[in-house]
Every structure is written in C-alpha cells, then in structure tokens.
Structure 1
Amino acid sequence: MSTPENAIETIIFFDIDATLVENRFSTRVMADILQEIADASGQPRDALGRALVAENQRRQLETPDDPLTMDWGDIALTVAQQYGVSLSQSLDALWEAYANVDEVDLLDDSPAVVASLKAPHRQLVIATKGLSKYQYPVLRVSGLLDLFDGILAPDIAGLHKASPGYHNSYTRTAPDALIVQVGDHYEDDVMAPKRNGFVSILRAPIEELAVHDAFERPQYFPAYADRLHTYPKEGTNVLPDAIVLSLQEVPALINQLEAEKGIPKNG
C-alpha cells in the first residue's frame, strides 16, 4: 500500500498539564496574586484561591467557548475587584517572568516519547484547555515546542477543548486519518474525544492496572475511578480505548492502532 507524499494518516493530539509536564512555577504566580489580594482585603488566601477556582468553573459552565473563560489574568482581576482590590501586578506578566525550566517537570521523559513518534505520515499537535499565552512559555522552557506540528487552544480554535469542532482545523484536512487524543483529563481527553469518534488514550498512573494490557485496562478502571480527580462526580459509561501508566507505552499503542487500520509503518 502506497500513499501520496506527505499524506497525513495519523493525527495525535496531546494534552500538556499532567500529561507531558507538571508546571510548578504556576503555583508561585497564583500565590503572589492571592497574597496581594489577601493583604489588601483581609480575606484568607485559601478562601481567595477557592474564589478563583469557582469563577473559572462558573465561566466553563456558562460561557465555555469564550476565551476569557480560561483567562486566569482576567479571572484574577475579577476576583480582586469583587473584594475592592486593584492589582498592582499582572498575572500574565508574572507568568512570563516566572517561567523556567527548573520548575517544569517532564513526565515520563515526554520529549523523547514525542520525538520517537515523529514520522512523515503523522501530525503531532498540542490540544490544550489552557490559553496559548500560558502554554507557549511552558512548551518553550521544556523543549517541547519544536517537537510538535501545531497547537490548539481555546483562543486559537475559538472553542473550549471539550466543545464539538475544537479539533476541526486539523481533522477536516485528513478526514480518513486515525485520530488519537492522549491526556489525563476525563472530560477533555476521554469523553469529548470519544464523542468525536477519536481514539482516547488516558494517562492514569494507577499501579494496580499494570498487570493488564493497555487496551484491557479500561474495563477495570471504574474500580479506581475515584483516584482521578477529573472523573465526573455523576459517573459515566464512557471509557477510554486504552490506559497508560506512562507515556512510554504510547508509541507501541500507536503502532498497533496503525497496523489495525492498515497504515504502513513508514506511512
């Protein structure tokens, strides 16, 4: 079986946070913002942190496709104003200033995994719920940015990651391609991709599942679902196609999926 030169037969979407990396500098950014609001308002910092999360959750529920829904700078300003505080520092400026390689942990040697997946017939794309202005600094300092062929974010797609159509700018160009989403978030990386007809690979390092094949693990996952904080409280019948404990397992799964679809190793 031969394919036209540069034909894309497999598109692999990767989440960032808790999939490729753990971002620790974000905690310092939030701490500085919350401390300023706390000092000026007299409110406990923990309560203010909960207010930030609540405002983000409200936006995701009411206006999911508005880019401001995931704009933590705007969320911080909104919460500060609720307590009569005018911030002297910009969350976005702090984010850029604090971004550094020492506070971004690479999970499962993720750059090597992504590099091993590169092939002429594959397109590797970041698909994130975070805005690009927050994710580009993380990708740059981690060395991951140049390994990907593109990035999708709410401000780029004009849609929330879980919304239908979020992936269209890539999937429409290769309607017959194998489409795979790799990530850790149950709604964004399992439920939404499965609704779209994609293959879902969930990163969930649950050691008890190690004894099972990656494609068999989903049937055992419900017994451990409470360990995944993004699993919906109301439950769901939707399961991923495969579960990996480490990204190191992903290349072999992609090869297997491509073989089943009849995609030659060299595209």
Structure 2
Amino acid sequence: MIPGTFDYFAPSTVDEAVTLLSDRGPDARVLAGGQSLIPMMKLRLAEPPVLVDLNRVEGLGGIEERDGHLRIGAMTRHAALETSDLIGARYPLIADAAAVIADPLVRNRGTTGGSLAHADPAGDLGSVMTALGAEIVVTGPSGERTLSIDDLLLGPFATTLEEGEIMTEVRVPLPGAGSAGAYEKLERKVGDFATAAVAVQLSRENGSCSSIGIALTAVGPTTIRAGAAEDHLRGGALDEAALRAASELAAEAAEPAADLRGSEEYKRDMVRVLTLRALRRAIARAGG
C-alpha cells in the first residue's frame, strides 16, 4: 500500500505546470485532489514517474458569475460546490450532485476538474455538466482553447485533453427565468458509486419547455446524453404524459452492463424512474 518512487513538482502558475508537463511528456501525471490517482498509486496500479501537483497553482479555484456564465475553477473542491450559496440558489442541479459525491473525505479533497478529467463513467459531474451544456477551458503548450463537455468525454477514463494540457475552468451558461435542474442518484449505500443516476436541466417559457438537458450516469461507457428524450420535450408542454414518454426514451438511451449492482434490465428501469423523478423536481423548482 505504498506508492513507487516518483519525482514531485509543485508549480505556482499555470504556465509552469504546462511547461513541466510538456517537458516530461507521457511520464508526467497531474495531481489535483488525488482521490482517484493516489489510491491507484498505493496499489501500484498506476506508477507515474513524475507528479505535477496543481494545488499551489494560483487562479484555479473559485466560483463566480461573470461574462455571461458561471465560472468554476478546475481546482474547486466538491465541498465548495455543495456549500456555495450561489450554487444552491441558482444551480440546484450542481448542488444536488455535489452533495452525493462519495463521502465527506472525498468531497473535501476531490476537485471539479479532476473529476471531469478522470472521466469515470460513474462520476457524477460528467452528466451534470452535460445536462447544463457546460464548456471546458484548457491551457497547454499551444495556448488556451475551449471545448464543449460533449467534446471532452471520449469513453471510460478517456478525454480529448492533449499532452501537456491542464483544465483551468468550467463554464456553465447563466440560467434564465424559469430555469432549474435536479439530480437523482441510486446507490447501494451512502458513498458508493451510482447504480444509475440522471441529471436534468430545463427552462420553461409560456408553459412550454424552451430548453432541456438530460444526461445519464453509470449506465454506459461514458456519460450519455439522452437526445431523443430531450427532443421529445423541447418546445412542448411539460405534462405528465410527456414526462413519462421522455423517461421511457431516456431508458432506451442507456447502455447498462450487468454487474454486482444489478442487471441490465434493472438499471434501465431505474433510469426510467430516476428520469421521471428528476424531471418532476426540476419543474417544481422552475415554478411549475
């Protein structure tokens, strides 16, 4: 349970971090909250020769609204999302998910950027940011670039981040009037990975659904956007029949694998149930 030997660097600026990662190439791994990497290193499942610790890098934290979006620094802890008054009041979907990420120890150390970069199919924030239509800002040897969350997540533990790049912030569109979200998660016990979970973000205008995001956690090789369910609701009335039909479509979008948490059939049915619950909660929060 002791990691192998490695060189350790703790840069204080983004440029320093990028230079270190570029110079050391594939040997270097980024250390953010360490809640995934360190346990793997202790088990010798990961033995990176070089660690670049981002915890002392200035400017990678914080939660604020500016320039037409919510900015979440990549090193913002899950606990900060859970306890933020701004998040709780304006972005209940994020607050819901942050409160059920693992346990208090993980929430106090784990980071927003680290979770997204790890790209665990059972990670809560991938589906949350997908439903919200978030953008990811990364900095690397070629400078800064912005990409959508859909373009970031490739598959299980795989992203489009290039060598030498680090995530610096997450940008979420500001919610308009009549907007709200909800996250529904099924887990065997508190702190466990999700058996299934669903993130919903929607906006109501004149009694109709003007925008909608629905994304699924832990029922496929990566976060799944339930596009057919979104299309069914977008532009129409959010009545019970429409919600139930969308929930069925979300279940059809799931790609679950049978494991100790349940069969494929069980997980697919849980997606249906959780989608309906999340839609109802989001509508209630939006003033419906």
TM-score (norm 2): 0.25
More helix by percentage: 1
Say which structure, 1 or 2, has more relative contact order (CA 8 Å, 6+ apart). 1
TM-score, normalised by the number of residues in structure 1: 0.26
